[in-house]
C-alpha cells in the first residue's frame, strides 16, 4: 500500500476524532518505549509510587504496546477537554476539576469505542483496544510521541493551545498509519508548578514523587494521611489542581462542551460546613457516576476530617 493511502487513513481517523469531540489526535508507531524504560524503573526503585503497587505490575506491557495488542502497528493518542465553565466557591473544600462530572473512564471510553467502530467500518478488519487511564499504558509518553504536547515540569502533558486540563486516551491498533513527530518543550525557565506545590511533590523538574502528592493522599492512600503533611493540603479534599492552576499555559484553557461533565450544583455551592455534614445518601446523589466514588464516602470523610484538623 502506498504512503498516500496511509495518509488518507490517518486524516480520516483524525477528522472523526474531532467530530466525536476530542480536542486533538496524534499518531505514533507502536514500539518499545526505550527512552521511558530507565526513567520508569528508577521512579519505581525510589518508591515514588507509594502504595500504588499496581504500578509495579506489567512493567513490560507499560513499555511495549505490542504486548497489550498483538500485532499492533499504531498508537492513536487523543485529548478530551474537561476544563469546567464554573468552578467551586473559594471558601470550600476542593474537588479536582476532572471529577466534577461523570467518570471520564466511561464517557471517554464510549467515544473511543465509537472511533474504533468507525475505523473498522471505513477501513475493514482492524483489531485494537481502547484505553483511558485503565491499563498499563504510559499515556503521557504516547501523547508526547504523537506530537500532542510536551511533558511539563509537573509531569503533565502541556499544549500551547489549551494548557493541560484534558484527559489522555489511546487506541492501540494493528493498522499502519502516518506517524506524527514530537513538539518542543515550552516550559523554559518557568518553575511556577515546582514553587507552588503544597507538599513539594515535584522533587526536581519533570519528576513528581507520587507518594507526596495530595492526589495520592486523598485518592490512592487507604490508610491514615501522615500527620507530617498537616497544614499543607490547602483545602483539597479529592485530588489537587495546584500545579495546573499556576501553569501559565492554562491561561488558554477553554470550557468543555461535554454535557456529561456538568457538575451537580451542590458540588459548586457547598460550604465547608455542608461538606462536613454530608450524608452517605447525599454523597451518592452528588457523585452518582463520578470518579470521586473511587475514594468512597468514608474516604472523603477521612480527607475532610484531616483538613478540619489543620
Pairing verdict, β 94-95 and 74-81: unpaired
- Say how far apart CA 94 and CA 55 lie, in whole Å: 27
Is the Cβ–Cβ distance between 179 and 74 less than 8 Å?
yes
What is the residue-wise DSSP string for 34-92?
TTHHHHHHHHHHTTTTTT-GGGGTTHHHHH-GGGTSTT--EEEEEEEE---SS---SSS
Is the Cβ–Cβ distance between 118 and 19 less than 8 Å?
no
Answer yes or no: 60 catalytic: no
- Say how far apart CA 139 and CA 58 lie, in whole Å: 15
The catalytically annotated residue of 2, 64, 103, 133 is: 133
Is the Cβ–Cβ distance between 98 and 132 less than 8 Å?
no
Q: Please list the alpha-helical segments (H only) found in 237-295.
A: 242-245, 265-269, 272-276, 280-286
Residues designated as active site: 133
Amino acid at each position: 500500500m502506498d504512503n498516500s493511502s496511509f495518509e488518507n487513513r490517518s486524516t480520516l481517523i483524525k477528522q472523526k476524532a474531532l467530530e466525536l469531540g476530542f480536542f486533538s489526535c496524534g499518531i505514533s508507531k507502536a514500539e518499545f518505549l526505550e527512552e521511558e524504560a530507565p526513567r520508569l524503573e528508577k521512579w519505581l526503585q525510589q518508591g515514588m509510587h507509594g502504595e500504588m503497587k499496581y504500578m509495579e505490575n506489567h512493567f513490560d506491557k507499560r513499555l511495549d504496546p505490542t504486548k497489550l495488542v498483538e500485532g499492533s502497528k499504531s498508537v492513536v493518542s487523543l485529548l478530551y477537554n474537561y476544563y469546567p465553565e464554573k468552578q467551586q466557591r473559594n471558601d470550600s473544600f476542593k474537588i479536582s476539576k476532572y471529577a466534577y462530572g461523570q467518570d471520564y473512564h466511561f464517557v471517554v471510553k464510549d467515544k473511543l469505542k465509537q472511533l474504533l467502530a468507525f475505523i473498522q467500518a471505513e477501513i475493514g478488519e482492524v483489531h485494537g483496544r481502547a484505553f483511558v487511564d485503565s491499563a498499563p499504558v504510559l499515556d503521557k509518553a504516547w501523547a508526547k510521541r504523537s506530537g500532542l504536547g510536551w511533558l511539563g515540569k509537573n509531569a503533565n502533558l502541556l499544549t500551547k493551545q489549551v494548557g493541560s486540563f484534558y484527559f489522555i486516551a489511546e487506541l492501540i491498533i494493528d493498522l499502519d498509519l502516518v506517524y506524527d513527530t514530537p513538539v518542543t518543550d515550552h516550559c523554559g525557565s518557568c518553575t511556577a508548578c515546582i514553587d507552588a506545590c503544597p507538599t513539594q511533590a515535584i522533587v526536581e523538574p519533570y519528576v513528581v514523587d507520587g507518594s507526596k502528592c495530595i492526589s495520592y493522599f486523598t485518592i490512592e492512600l487507604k490508610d491514615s494521611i501522615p500527620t507530617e503533611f498537616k497544614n499543607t493540603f490547602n483545602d483539597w479534599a479529592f485530588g489537587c489542581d495546584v500545579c495546573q492552576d499556576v501553569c501559565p499555559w492554562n491561561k488558554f484553557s477553554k470550557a468543555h462542551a461535554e454535557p456529561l461533565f456538568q457538575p451537580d450544583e451542590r458540588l459548586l455551592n457547598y460550604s465547608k460546613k455542608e461538606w462536613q455534614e454530608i450524608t452517605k445518601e447525599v454523597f451518592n446523589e452528588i457523585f452518582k457516576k463520578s470518579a470521586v466514588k473511587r475514594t468512597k464516602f468514608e474516604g472523603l470523610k477521612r480527607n475532610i476530617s484531616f483538613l478540619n484538623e489543620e
